[in-house]
Amino acid sequence: MILLNFAHPFTPTQLNQIEQLSGQAVAQVIDVKTQFDHARPFAEQARALVEAVGLSAQAWQTTPLLVNLPSLNVIAALVLAEIHGRCGYFPPVLRLMPVPNALPPQFQVAEIVNLQAVREAARAMR
């Protein structure tokens, strides 16, 4: 599985947590620096951000992916839209949470959210 990381770098402990939760090895982590210019339209910047991942059209459609989204909500929504357009489905995403009482602050992997399953369940509510 390829982990697309649009946020802070992962620690070895976090990568181990991801592998345990997913039941898959993380074959590659692609870190994408996420800095946006507030004076420019976000949609074009999100497209460039996802393009910077460097996957081919075939890889987008055939490679198991896991995504760590940017923390800014609008950028996260745009990144998801871009990825969905390339993959044809919503990828699973990570949710991190603070480690209680950790100094300095640390984060652990809380869950892997299956966005495609959430979408399919929501469609049944129509």
User: What pLDDT does 19 receive?
Assistant: 98
Which pair of tokens denotes residue 125? 């509510």
User: What pLDDT does 28 receive?
Assistant: 98
Q: What is the mean pLDDT of residues 8-20?
A: 97
Tens digits of residue pLDDT in 60-108: 999 999 999 999 999 999 999 999 999 999 999 999 999 999 999 999 9
| Cα–Cα distance, 24 to 106 (Å, whole number) | 24
Tens digits of residue pLDDT in 43-55: 999 999 999 999 9
CA terminus-to-terminus distance, the chain: 33
Report pTM. 0.94
Domain ranges of the chain: 2-123
Mean per-residue pLDDT of the chain: 97
User: What pLDDT does 107 receive?
Assistant: 97
The closest alpha carbon to 67, from 13, 42, 55, 41, belongs to 55
Q: What is the mean pLDDT of residues 23-45?
A: 97
The closest alpha carbon to 72, from 90, 54, 49, belongs to 49
